[in-house]
Chain A
Amino acid sequence: QKEVEQNSGPLSVPEGAIASLNCTYSDRVSQSFFWYRQYSGKSPELIMSIYSNGDKEDGRFTAQLNKASQYVSLLIRDSQPSDSATYLCAVILGAGGTSYGKLTFGQGTILTVHP
């Protein structure tokens, strides 16, 4: 089992729809979780971080964390063509993971939002 695993893509949604991206992780004591967006040929860009169970909203983005199920998700409401990118889930594995940012990434999910 991979340490951080994302739902297989690619994912295609129509403009205006909700895009749902999912991620599971293997180390149950992990505390820090991130979603990065990566446009083709560009570097990863942090869009959300979440540390506590529940939902965290930022504009059209909502991150959801369930530590009991070892599951973190990202919802994108009112999807736009400009949201088309690869979305990377990243976890700082282990309980002491707030001392520095050694991220373990999932393989990424390619999202396409079509007009």
Chain B
Amino acid sequence: GAGVSQTPSNKVTEKGKYVELRCDPISGHTALYWYRQSLGQGPEFLIYFQGTGAADDSGLPNDRFFAVRPEGSVSTLKIQRTERGDSAVYLCASSGQGSSYNSPLHFGNGTRLTVT
């Protein structure tokens, strides 16, 4: 079976532009997470979906960032008025139902966003 798929793998955009990053989780996984990883750092939590709803969006840095998961499968992370500080690798992960004991996170290969 396929793993977590993220598109595009690379995105270069100009400061001030709008971008959308897509995540296609493992089929049947109800939980979906977005993380952001800057160079030389560990991933930083952004938002968690359980089904269609955002159960925890406490990691979104400001209101320029928004994410949706309208049908409980594919998710899109949207960034408005991009800034150079938004440059990072955006990672998506999914897991099945249940606790962390039996539902480890499976990460996608990420989207590398560069804001020029």
Chain A positions near chain B (C-beta within 8 angstroms): 4, 32, 34, 42-46, 49, 51, 88-90, 92, 97-108
- In Å, the complex CA distance between A43 and B90 comes to 10
Given A42-B109, A46-B104, check contact A101 B33 (CB 8 Å).
Answer: yes
Given A90-B42, A105-B43, A107-B40, check contact A100 B100 (CB 8 Å).
Answer: yes
Question: For B104, what are the chain A residues with a Cβ–Cβ distance below 8 Å?
Answer: 34, 46, 49, 101
Contacts A98-B101, A100-B48 given; 15 further ones with Cβ under 8 A?
A34-B104, A43-B91, A49-B100, A92-B100, A99-B99, A100-B95, A101-B95, A101-B105, A102-B45, A102-B56, A103-B35, A103-B43, A105-B42, A107-B40, A108-B41
Q: How far is the CB of A47 from chain B (nearest CB, A)?
A: 10
Chain B positions near chain A (C-beta within 8 angstroms): 4, 31, 33, 35, 40-45, 48, 50, 55-56, 91, 93, 95, 99-101, 103-105, 107-110
Residue in B closest to A44 when the chains form the complex, CB atoms:
B107
- In Å, the complex CA distance between A105 and B33 comes to 14
A100 is contacted by which of B55, B109, B110 (Cβ under 8 Å)? Answer: B55
Could you list 9 A-B pairs, sorted by A, with CB under 8 Å?
Answer: A32-B100, A34-B104, A43-B109, A49-B104, A89-B42, A101-B104, A103-B45, A105-B43, A108-B42
Question: For A51, what are the chain B residues with a Cβ–Cβ distance below 8 Å?
Answer: 101
Question: For A98, what are the chain B residues with a Cβ–Cβ distance below 8 Å?
Answer: 99-101
- In Å, the complex CA distance between A98 and B31 comes to 13
Question: For A44, what are the chain B residues with a Cβ–Cβ distance below 8 Å?
Answer: 43, 91, 107
Which of B41, B42, B56 gathers the greatest number of chain A CB atoms within 10 Å?
A: B42
